[in-house]
Structure 1
């Protein structure tokens, strides 16, 4: 490896330099090329960041040049000299004269990407060595508070971050980078003609209210038993996976341009039961008939055809019961690394185990919700977690759920970006059926049931980046399917069951 002839105080000692992968000459020549021709920066900016430079002075030169170029200002030895006059490290190398030497040692522009890739690879090697030393040091130190299983999960997380972003830890980022990311998200929505910034749920009215499922958001979908929260979650997950299309995105990277790869943690139902629900929806064969095998030849043919069509659907199900939050995160990272991951569903939150037992259930749920939010941010995907509601809903006159009905609600309400409730008034009205002899009450009940039949409501109780309110959906219990509810004025779109196909 190459090394500097002059060792400054902010560099490693001479004995260490030979063992650390680096190339000072490559750094010098790439910097020289950028200072000679600023257009080269655009070719290498997607590959390397300032932290990928080994020499701290080179790091600061690159950072200053990058800031100038991004402002459409010239970055040359002359213009950079005034910004780096007080840099002690640069003074030791010759100050402004060193910047001129860099420009003189410039490589030809066609080789710039190769040099940038070389510097990136060397930086990754250095971070792998550092991470390996940390893992080795922690493993050697026998500590009661640091379990080997926890160390494995932590090491896997650090390695994942290194593989995805080229850095083991992410610290502060400049406001410029944050603004650029925000503009890209807005541009993505604008390019869809005022459509969604996030992933479409396949339910038009819900998309309008949420703007789709946004990256790094934690969405809670809550409801009492039999309201259909698992059905709605599987419907949305299936819609996303069904719409998946891979291609070149606006930022030049390859990935999902429509729909996405979906991970589904089914902690309550088996993978086979969940698949049967999805097949029931896709084939329009009632799920109880699928379970019993009670199907006509036409229905069975539809069922088999739906199964064949869904074979290539990128929907991955993990039905391991009582998963700890740390394992859930580790498996999600692995799925993203191996197959990609655009949305994650957890059914349901109260069945996830905390990493360690806590003194109260509230603290345990708090650790789980914080862990799910951390997964959403780390993997840059929306995480949809289902949640149970407390029984106090049943004792009220108005059965519509609200935020205070969430079990252990403090942490769930606080950590979530969006809280939604599934509500089917038809379910409660059905249980108010009067006796056959009460003719007047029976007639009124039948009218009310007729008005509520096949309808569901998704109540958005909290949305950090948008409005709250409710969205009406259609619900077909036989196929456990939610759909877009056709409004009275949309007569041309009414199908045989009064709902548009998803």
Structure 2
């Protein structure tokens, strides 16, 4: 049977190794262990010859159902599917087994197949990029961004474009449910360090866009910095924080004050007490071991954020992206009005979360409407400049501190984290302690209600 290319735009025979493909299939027919090992490296789309892709899918089908896998059962399975003649008949199946004496080198053969498949994807990707280069109807910056995205997905061993059968999705979904059931974990995503929030959301979920918004001086930068520090220090994950409002040095001072639990004014002015120095030294030691990355480039564009995040994930891994704040990021082109620009930015951050499969937290401004109401707690309609922020976000949280408006408030030292939108769960107002002098929020003890802030909850990040 002639070889069939796995993509378009090839002037020559694309890279392939049919002997390696045969050796992979033969090894799978000789050993169930080989099936499990090979399936972790390659899928049917990695095979160059169509007959080999068909056989691989049939072998996997038998294996997934727990049935015996050998030349006889494979031929029977292919006949049942009406594909036996397509692969060359039963003799073709028997021939594959006879050409592979042992399954010991299955992983080596699979890596050869995977490498040639990646080269074919590189050629396919180059073909797409060449077409973009000739497409003068699209702005060049957009073409560059799309091209970079194609290369990134190709490098992640993903096809440029691909449909996924629902059967495959259902299988993966069921496996995920089984894993969650067996682990019995309340937090399935990335913990923020705030116990009540993590319990409500099950942690920050990959692909989700989380918006945290408030009026000025409520502490949104402090809250998100606390979350970043917890994820980097306690969870040992890779975090990138784009600080478009504060400089990196200002941010580091806040992070140090919170991690060392010392007065931020003393740290900012250098007037540290004798007992502050060991705390600062220990905090620096802990933070130096983390994978917390800070970018304070002014006027950063959406495309620059995408590009930097893609490179960071490729080189060092990436588990959380934080943007402080959304309205300060520049669109790649000027729109008719600011509403359209902000809509493009929020949609872009949601697409980035899905592309890199990580949670994204973006801070956002609110309009002045809360200050025109008797109850100044924010509402979804207060999101500034764009209703698309609400639409794109999976979770929207508002920070409200009554003492900002009333210095004599009975809720002094307390903050409300209002979960106003939660795409996959309930809504709730979570009460936090606000420890402004050390640039920290902390979880309140359960049952503390809305009274003054008590000692931090043991699950607090700081």
Same fold (TM over 0.5): yes
1:137: Cα distance to partner?
4.7
Answer yes or no: is 1:498 the counterpart of 2:435. no
- Alignment partners' CA distance in 2, 1:92 and 1:196: 48
1:85, distance to aligned residue in structure 2 (A): 4.8
Q: Is the 8 A contact 1:262 1:342 kept in 2?
A: yes
Does residue 33 (structure 1) correspond to residue 24 (structure 2)? The answer is: no
2:26, 2:103 within 8 Å by CA — same for their partners in 1?
Answer: no
Q: Which deviations, in whole Å up to 9, do the C-alpha atoms of 1:115-137 show, x marking residues without a partner?
A: 01110011111211222343345
**TM-score scaled by structure 1?**
0.84
Please say if 1:474 is aligned against 2:433: yes
Give 1:218's aligned residue.
209
Matches within 5 A, 1:342-361: 342-361=319-338
Aligned-residue offset at 1:167: 2.5
CA distance in 1, matches of 2:207, 2:185: 21
Of structures 1 and 2, the one with the larger relative CO (CA 8 A, separation 6+) is: 2
Name the stretch that deviates more: 28-37 or 83-92: 83-92
Task: Look up the SS of the partner of 1:394 in the other structure.
Answer: helix
Matches within 5 A, 1:394-473: 394-430=371-407, 446=408, 449=409, 451-473=410-432
In 1, are the aligned partners of 2:325 and 2:364 still within 8 Å (CA)? yes
Alignment of 1:151 with 2:143, yes or no, is yes
Q: Which residue of 1 aligns with 2:155?
A: 163
2:367 equivalent in structure 1: 390
Calculate the aligned-residue CA RMSD, in Å: 2.7
> Do 2:125 and 2:160's aligned partners in 1 also have CA atoms closer than 8 Å?
no
Query: Which runs of structure 2 are paired with 1:168-183 in the superposition (5 Å)?
Result: 168-183=159-174
Once the two structures are superposed, residues 289-312 of structure 1 have per-residue CA deviations (whole angstroms, 9 ceiling, x without a partner) of 322223223324433332233211
**Equivalent position of 1:257 in the other structure:** none
TM-score (norm 2): 0.90
Aligned pair partner of 1:108 in 84, 102, 107: 102
Among 200, 211, 224, the alignment partner of 1:233 is 224
Deviations 1:49-103 (A, max 9, x none): 1110011121122122212221223444444445545999963663222122222
| Pair 1:303–1:156, CA change in 2 (3 A) | same
> Aligned equivalents of 1:91 and 1:183: distance in 2?
33
1:7 pairs with 2, 9, 19, which one? Answer: 2
Aligned to 1:323: 300
2:346 corresponds in structure 1 to: 369
Number of equivalences: 455
Alignment of 1:10-409 (within 5 A): 19-81=13-75, 84-85=78-79, 91=85, 94-139=88-133, 141=134, 143=136, 145-147=138-140, 149-164=141-156, 166-183=157-174, 185-186=176-177, 189-190=180-181, 193-245=184-236, 260-409=237-386
Q: Do 1:90 and 1:98's aligned partners in 2 also have CA atoms closer than 8 Å?
A: no
Q: Kindly name which structure, 1 or 2, has the bigger radius of gyration based on alpha carbons.
A: 1
SS at match of 1:310: helix
Aligned to 1:256: none
The structural deviation recorded for 1:179 is: 3.4
In 2, Cα distance between equivalents of 1:7 and 1:183:
38
Q: Given that residues 234 and 278 in structure 1 are in contact (C-alpha distance below 8 angstroms), is that contact kept between their aligned partners in structure 2?
A: yes
Q: Which moved more, 1:414-423 or 1:59-68?
A: 59-68
Aligned counterparts of 1:159 and 1:334: Cα–Cα separation in 2: 11
Give the drift of 1:182: 3.4
Superimposed CA distance per residue, residues 262-298 of structure 1 (whole angstroms, 9 cap, x where no aligned partner)? 1101111111111111111112222233222232233
Runs of 5+ consecutive residues of structure 2 not aligned to the other structure: none
Tell me if structure 2 keeps the 8 A contact 1:424–1:457.
yes
Q: Distance in 2 between matches of 1:487 and 1:340?
A: 35
SS in 2 for 1:429: coil
Contact 2:41 2:114 in 1 (8 A): yes
* Structure 1 unmatched ranges of 5 or more: 1-5, 246-259, 431-445
User: Structure 1 residue 175: deviation in Å?
Assistant: 3.0
Higher mean Cα deviation, 455-464 or 151-160?
151-160
